[in-house]
A and B are shown apart, each in its own frame.
Chain A
Amino acid sequence: MHSLYEIETTVKRVARHQGLSWGVAEEAGKVVRALEQSELPGLESFNRLIHLPYNKCQTTIDVSNKNQDILCPIHFGLFFFDQSHKSNLYQAFQFSNIQEPLLAIPLLIKAAQKNLISFNFTSNEFNFFISPGNVILLNKDEIPHQSKNIVLDISNQRQIQYSEKTWEQLYELSLETFVEESDEKKLSGAGAGLTDND
């Protein structure tokens, strides 16, 4: 398993490699970190998103256009995080579809808390409700009136939510933000010699 630091940094670098600005790439890193920390499969979701491929995603969010297709969940979430201080946004909007909606959730949670608003997201496949009070309901219709045979499993060990293959794929891509060095550059980079016997 990888640390949350490794997950955040790798996602940030991959997002940058996909053409996102550094600032948005930082947000993507935080989003996936938050999901993995909550034991939700953020890394798998992010991996599928960038292998769509990512350049098919719509990154400009236009709430007046209900036919917007293949919306990027990071930009979707960020749009509401940045813009939802405006009261003219407090209404219902329609979108054709959004990729990997899970990735939008951490940003919508922050937007809800910051502006004391709620988001009720419904779609054919997936519904969730986010309120400013740290309560997230993934499907309100499925809340039972009574629970029986309860097992409360408490753990401080984070469980892995992604496959090794996904990690390998993303890690390799994250290396694409690095600079390959020539032999000469390797020597000049930090100024020291190759052996240090003193």
Chain B
Amino acid sequence: MHIDLRKPEFVMKLDRLGSFHQSKLSFLRSFIREFKDWAFQTSEFELNEKGYGHCVYIVNKEDKKYSLVCFSNELDDSERSDRVIATKWDASFVLFDGIPTKQDIQRLKANVPLQEQGRVTEKELCLSRANKSVRVFEHVVDCLSQGKQPDTKLLYDVGYLYRTTAVYGSGKFGLADRIKIQDRGELKGPFRLEMMLVFLARQFTFDMVNHVAKMRSPKLAVKLNDEIARNLGIGNSTGLGMAPFIVNHPALLNQWILSKEKALQSIRSIPTTSEQEKEKFQNYLSTIQENIKFWKTDSDYQIKKNSQLIEDLENFQKYFSNLKLEKFFWNNTYEWVEKNTQAECCEFIVSLLMEVYPDIVEPLSYEMSINEEDFFDFDSSRSIGDICALIEKRYAWLIDIDFEKKNNIFNFWYYSKNKQEPRMSDRFSEDGAERELPLAIARDINKLYLELKNYAESEPLSSYLLKNQEYRHVLRRIFICEKLPYSEIQDNTISKSLIPVDMLRLKLSFFGATRFDPRSDRWVRITMYQGAPLMKEIHQSDDTWSYKKIA
């Protein structure tokens, strides 16, 4: 039996993309798989009794070395903000290419805590900062300093000790350009360095509480229990700045989605399933149903999605428990799920299916990068008729949208002068629409299509370009989408009904984030690496930690 890939017009809708879950393909998991045989060590730990100072962690294998330099500074509660406009943080981090000298540390100390206001160099690879969860941090330090372990209920309600508020890479603020590192074998998956930074920053948060507790009460203090630490991740607070990434990197988006779809296709194509494989799936399913109880959110939108997920999973469990092992068992399972559950549950089951087949899924994580430069230029000798046909084939969903209607062009994306980040606003009541970013893909392709229809089909595209270059930016995309059909979100990103948090969720699920907690329709808190091995035990990881039961 031949199973097709799921169609882009099914997968690339935002309500489905916004229901994606972490999986074996997620970048933080592929980071651990790739680096588990590297050596991790703490090389400098120079914090005062309050935990202010700097630390250096080194990751190395043979002659390859990376270092995370962490700076911890005093921060008044009134200054603690997750917003990009913040100028101070509890901790700041920089991933260094190699091992920093004393002079490097001094230079970084003067710049890294300033983040966007400082300058780094091409010796540095990634930049980040984090704030404490004050409530949890104080509780943990207090308990440890009294020789007790902290209250795990409080800890797991939050899920982390610190949360990052931004992680920058690829040339930002003077950091090394991607071209410098793109050919390194260990960095072949997307966002490897960012994942390394966050993994080491998580370790720093544990070392920090142990240190401060010990300083507070040298005789009584105990260390945070490894089991408790393992079940803590690092938080992340993400706003709209992340959303345009998936629009601005169509070729890369295609690779991410295509890898997932190829994994699903391969699993659905397995003709016979063993009892052990079914049981393995069932075990993951049972554990994760328990863990979902720790997903806390105040967002009505997410509460509804989580409740629906729990309900759908219960129904699925009834179906699955009675399902006999027949030919194409997983395909039957998937088809039932697609038909009988919402996108949130369906994509959850897809992630779960991948757990059973590491040999199928893990190699696909090496296909998730692409050289985007190869897709920048397009062939202007193609006929206009060809291009129109291409739009009709790949972009049928946008041809009939009426872009004269207010609700269909309600929002515009802009780059905020104050925050140096992309933002979104109401076109009809806010200023700045004349400086709109080129993210209104549906509207612009629709307009291009209508213009091209005025030309003879046999004319080459270059004839149109002689007269009009206005839509050159979307012409590129049409050529990309011809070769890479999962490169476009098939929804109008400027419509009034857009839920931007779906765009964040898509990207964050590929990062490996869990516990989605939208704080509004355009801002979300998540947790990364919850359940992951600690730095000292990374070499033991068997990549099953995502589905371990949270105590």
Instruction: Give the B-binding residues of A (Cβ under 8 A).
Output: 1-6, 20-24, 26-27, 30, 37, 78-79, 81-83, 85-86, 110, 114, 158, 175, 177-181, 185-186, 189-198
Contacts and interface: CB of A to CB of B under 8 A. Distances in A.
Nearest to B171: A5
Given A21-B473, A37-B179, A189-B423, 16 more contacts: A4-B179, A6-B173, A6-B174, A23-B469, A23-B472, A81-B377, A82-B465, A82-B466, A86-B460, A114-B377, A178-B420, A180-B418, A186-B418, A189-B425, A191-B520, A197-B80
B438 interface: yes
A197 B376 CA distance: 44
A26 B377 CA distance: 11
Contacts of A175: 417
B177 A3 contact: yes
The 7 closest A-B pairs by CB, nearest first: A23-B472, A5-B171, A191-B520, A179-B432, A3-B171, A190-B239, A178-B417
Contact of A83 (B171, B240, B380): B380
Nearest to A25: B473
Contacts of A2: 174
Contacts of A197: 77, 80, 134-135
Contact of B171 (A4, A185, A189, A193): A4
Contact of A181 (B79, B135, B418): B418
Nearest to A6: B171
Contacts of A198: 133-135, 158
Contacts of A86: 381, 460, 462
Contacts of B239: 189-192
Contacts of A1: 121-122, 174
Contact of A190 (B133, B134, B471, B523): B523
B357 interface: no
Interface residues of B, number: 66
Nearest to B424: A189
A177 B435 contact: yes
A73 to B, nearest CB: 15
Contacts of B435: 177-179
B430 interface: yes
A5 B177 contact: yes
Contacts of B85: 186
A195 B377 contact: no
B91 to A, nearest CB: 14
B175 interface: yes
A191 B472 CA distance: 34
Contacts of B473: 21-23, 26
10 contacts: A1-B122, A3-B172, A3-B175, A5-B171, A22-B472, A178-B414, A178-B420, A178-B435, A190-B84, A197-B134
B475 A23 contact: yes
Given A24-B469, A24-B472, A85-B381, A195 B78 contact: yes
